[in-house]
Amino acid sequence: MAVAAAQKNREMFAIKKSYSIENGYPSRRRSLVDDARFETLVVKQTKQSVLEEARARANDSGLESDFIQDGIHIGNGDNSPTVEDGTQQDDTKNGHLADADIGDDAGKTDEDYTLTEEEVILQNAASESPEAEQAIQQAALLLRMRDGMGSLARILKTIDNYKGCVQHLETRPSQLSGVQFDALVKVSMSRINLLQLIRSLRQSTSFAGVNLVSENNISSKTPWFPRHASDLDNCNHLMTKYEPELDMNHPGFADKDYRERRKQIAEIAFAYKYGDPIPSISYKETENATWQRVFNTVLDLMPKHACKEYKIAFGKLQAANIFVPQHIPQLEDVSNFLRKHTGFTLRPAAGLLTARDFLASLAFRVFQSTQYVRHANSPFHTPEPDCIHELLGHIPLLADPSFAQFSQEIGLASLGASDSEIEKLSTVYWFTVEFGLCKENQQLKAYGAALLSSIGELLHALSDKPELRPFEPASTSVQPYQDQEYQPIYYVAESFEDAKDKFRRWVSTMSRPFEVRFNPHTERVEVLDSVDKLETLIWQLNTEMLHLTNAVKKLKDTQFE
């Protein structure tokens, strides 16, 4: 949806700081979920100001249309939906007039020409180029007819004047006072004419309201999402609640040198652009010493407490000399290692990212990794993700092909998802990828990254203190959590496979109205919205099937020789 309003909205947020700081929000928040909500709020406020700006422009440019049909200019008095809550009242569910309450603002006599959100989007879409202006648009109009069915003739004639084609027409007695009937008209016409048609109808006294209602192809309901791996340059919004500067409980809060170092390393992430090699950091002796302490403890505990897949991948990282006790691995080396094993790569992150941005990168097999090191005073648990967490917690499983595939699926499911679905998705992510436990030969094992990177929390999780519950995505996804202290609840899957399987199946029940697919050759996410695209894919899969069938045949032939 390359619509200008959405694009502009996004540009306004292509910032390198947290929403929280820039908006004077309290620095310390209780959970990622709360931050996601806050993010939603700020995006809505921005959307509203974008709309207001566009409306002001429409007013400035004057309304005297060349197409005035009745020669009478009145306040449009329409009952434009408000945008405060980000949802337009849409009483044409499923494309039909529903019995729903129609709203109570029909009596407004606002002299301003008020564009609805849908119209701003349509106008922006039309203004992109002369071709875009002439592009044929499907749209639905809701008209409030004051004077009975006689107005229908006028509607149809006006549509005809603008070379529109009526595809559907439906009426009902109106529930609004002063309005006899509501008409829902679906039309197909050029965008520019559609805009003119709306203006023209609004200028007639016969209508108490003329609204363009949402049709998916001009709707802004789908949030912007990255389409290419390079778009991840815009997906680095931070939540700074646990930064040493702001969090009094952060082990580095009182340590000026630590805070300085943390900032210096974050600068690398701020400057990073798609395609750059990840700059290496010459870690200080104290930083390497912290790594060494954690690394050696993980080595001790891993054989007994980590799941099998983690241990296998860990071994490979040791064999490649990337995991050594003496010094912190460089992200560029880790990224190259992952690329060879599962196609995952890393990009540097300046701190804790918003769930939406973090998950979006997984869709491209990109893992956003912090590069700074936790404070030397608290090697066994830290309140914000650091490179020891990413390296010892996440990296081994990202080198496992099945887990890599699974991670990408979560990422793909997050693209364009609603805020409430992002909340649920990140909650399940939290209780599995970050803090998951599973059974392996009747024994409890850890596969969650925040357990494997925090010896303190690992031992807590395996003690008799916390509550253990069976992992069920439907209930897990709505379990509130905090991220300041050890978790009081952990979810246990029947096996590591079972965790992936259940999570994956639950993800497929998400309500997004379109499917996406990642094309590894172009590093692009494609929305599967045309027969052409699907046919190309089917052709590719058929070719692949042919090769696989041949391979089976060849193996069988050699067996019988």
Ligand X SMILES: C[C@H](O)[C@H](O)[C@H]1CNc2nc(N)[nH]c(=O)c2N1
Q: What phi and psi values does residue 142 have, to the nearest 5 degrees?
A: -110, 120
- Binding flag, residue 454, ligand TYR (CB under 6 A): yes
Q: With residue 145 as reference, give the H or E element that holds it.
A: strand 136-145
Quick one: what does residue 382 bind among Fe ion, ligand TYR, ligand X, none, with the CB cut-off 5 to 8 Å set by partner type? Answer: ligand TYR
Which 3 state secondary structure label does DSSP give 231? Answer: helix
List helix spans (H) across 207-255: none
Per-residue binding letters, 483-522, with ligand TYR (x by CB under 6 A): x---------------------------------------
Active-site hit among 305, 375, 389, 460: 389
Per-residue binding letters, 366-395, with ligand TYR (x by CB under 6 A): ---------------xxxxx---x------
Maximal C-alpha separation, the chain: 91
Nearer Cβ to ligand X, position 162 or 429?
429
Quick one: what does residue 359 bind among Fe ion, ligand X, ligand TYR, none, with the CB cut-off 5 to 8 Å set by partner type? Answer: ligand X
Distance CA 197, CA 155 (A): 9
Eight-state DSSP code of residue 377: T
DSSP per position, 325-366: SSSPPPHHHHHHHHHHHHS-EEEEESSPBPHHHHHHHHTTTE
- Binding flag, residue 429, ligand X (CB under 6 A): yes
Spatial CB neighbours of 540, under 8 Å, sequence gap ≥ 6: none
Spatial CB neighbours of 269, under 8 Å, sequence gap ≥ 6: 236, 347, 348, 349, 350, 370, 371
Contact (CB, 8 A) for 147 and 206: yes
Per-residue binding letters, 205-234, with ligand X (x by CB under 6 A): ------------------------------
Query: Is 394 labelled a binding residue?
Result: yes
Per-residue binding letters, 356-375, with ligand X (x by CB under 6 A): --xx--------x-x-----
Distance CA 108, CA 80 (A): 9
Distance CA 498, CA 492 (A): 10
User: In 3D, which of 432, 381, 401, 421 has the Cα closest to residue 507?
Assistant: 421
- Binding flag, residue 406, ligand X (CB under 6 A): no
CB of 419 to ligand X, least distance (A): 13
Active-site hit among 119, 309, 434, 457: 434
Structure tokens at 391: 């390296």
Distance CA 52, CA 46 (A): 10
CB of 358 to Fe ion, least distance (A): 8
Query: Is 457 labelled a binding residue?
Result: no
Nearer Cβ to ligand TYR, position 435 or 503?
435
Indicate the residue type of 447: Y
> Candidates 89-97, 150-158, 447-455, 532-540 — which segment interacts with ligand TYR by CB under 6 A?
447-455
Comparing every residue's Cβ against Fe ion, the nearest one is: 449
219 carries an active-site annotation: no
453 carries an active-site annotation: yes
**From candidates 265, 355, 397, 458, binder to ligand X by CB under 6 A:** 355
Residues that bind Fe ion (CB under 5 A): 385, 449
Residues that bind ligand TYR (CB under 6 A): 381-385, 389, 434, 450, 453-454, 483
Residues that bind ligand X (CB under 6 A): 32, 349, 352-353, 355, 358-359, 368, 370, 385, 426, 429-430, 434
Residue list, annotated binding site: 389, 394, 434
Catalytic residues: 389, 394, 434, 453
